[in-house]
Structure 1
């Protein structure tokens, strides 16, 4: 049950409080360390699934925990970046209209989780689409860039890259969320 892939997944969950603590009142060093932890968590996200499939150790625990670990990491990071001020300028990392993109991502995660739970009771699974994988890629790059921007306050392009990817992720989030909802509606009375 506690195979290497499951331990990697659990490590992502245990990394969230450390990430939150580093982003609580960060200076450039806090942002740099948070970026490092965020990158390590992203790498474990890739390897836990890869190793589970390669070793033939895909488990119910891993299937249950992996999406939870992803959602906890994304939600905690988004909330901290909305509430945490930049090193230079004193504005939140995600502010103004950009908060809408962050909300779209958070709300879709909650809605799709509920939909998947409902469909699981009907023994219906929704495979992850290629578009959803792109959504996840833009989401991860976005949040990583926004954290890194705090460590590199003299490089505003990093922050702009993060915000651009955040909006791309939000658009893909709407598209993939609609796809999941369409499939789910077919199974509702």
Structure 2
């Protein structure tokens, strides 16, 4: 395992997850509901920034590695899954939305792993629709965590709209990847 600056940032992102979740389990006497929302939002944003930053540094410092390429998406998916589960518990996201997004992540991760094993990983490389899904999701989650007006805008409402957009893009991107993989899947199912 290569422990360089980008991988250290990715590990730090994973280490933030229990802190992120734990904020909501603190007694209200220690941290009130509004403060919990603000702290959790801040932690999520820091994690999102480190996600961008570790990828940038890996390329800029020429410290890309197979382990980093594996760990980075795992860290992202863990943070998003933790956030969605919390948002369901807080009644800010419908369970079906969380199931769609988390289910897609598991399905596409498994598909990518299988396609890499059969030498076909290029056919399920990240597509533009996947990037749109990620942008909608990574904007919606902090807005839903914050859950308060900001600059006279109802962030919870905007976040709710964006999380539904993210869910729709999630289904679209999953369909796209499955469609791209279908010829390879059909070829290997006959064996």
TM-score when normalising by structure 2: 0.87
Extract unaligned runs of 5+ from structure 1.
Answer: 85-91
Cα displacement (A) at 1:68: 0.3
Q: Which residue of 1 aligns with 2:156?
A: 159
Deviations 1:23-47 (A, max 9, x none): 3366111111111110100000101
CA distance, structure 1, for counterparts of residue 24 and residue 66 of structure 2? 32
Extract unaligned runs of 5+ from structure 2.
Answer: 27-31
Q: Which residue of 2 aligns with 1:45?
A: 51
CA distance, structure 1, for counterparts of residue 61 and residue 119 of structure 2? 26
Which protein is bigger by CA-based radius of gyration? 2
Cα displacement (A) at 1:101: 2.2
Q: How does 1:76-155 map to 2 (within 5 A)?
A: 76-84=82-90, 92-94=91-93, 98-125=94-121, 126-149=124-147, 152=148
CA distance, structure 1, for counterparts of residue 25 and residue 44 of structure 2? 15
Q: Which runs of 4+ in 1 moved over 3 A?
A: 153-156
TM-score when normalising by structure 1: 0.88
Cα displacement (A) at 1:177: 0.4
Deviations 1:150-179 (A, max 9, x none): xx3797711011110001101111111011
Q: How well do the aligned residues superpose, as a CA RMSD in angstroms?
A: 1.6
Check the 8 A contact 1:142/1:162 in 2, yes or no. Answer: yes
Structure 2 residue 63 is matched with structure 1 residue 67: no
CA distance, structure 1, for counterparts of residue 61 and residue 129 of structure 2? 27
CA distance, structure 1, for counterparts of residue 175 and residue 108 of structure 2? 10
Q: Which residue of 2 aligns with 1:10?
A: 11
CA distance, structure 2, for counterparts of residue 134 and residue 47 of structure 1? 19
Check the 8 A contact 1:24/1:80 in 2, yes or no. Answer: no
Q: Which residue of 2 aligns with 1:174?
A: 171
Check the 8 A contact 1:102/1:166 in 2, yes or no. Answer: no
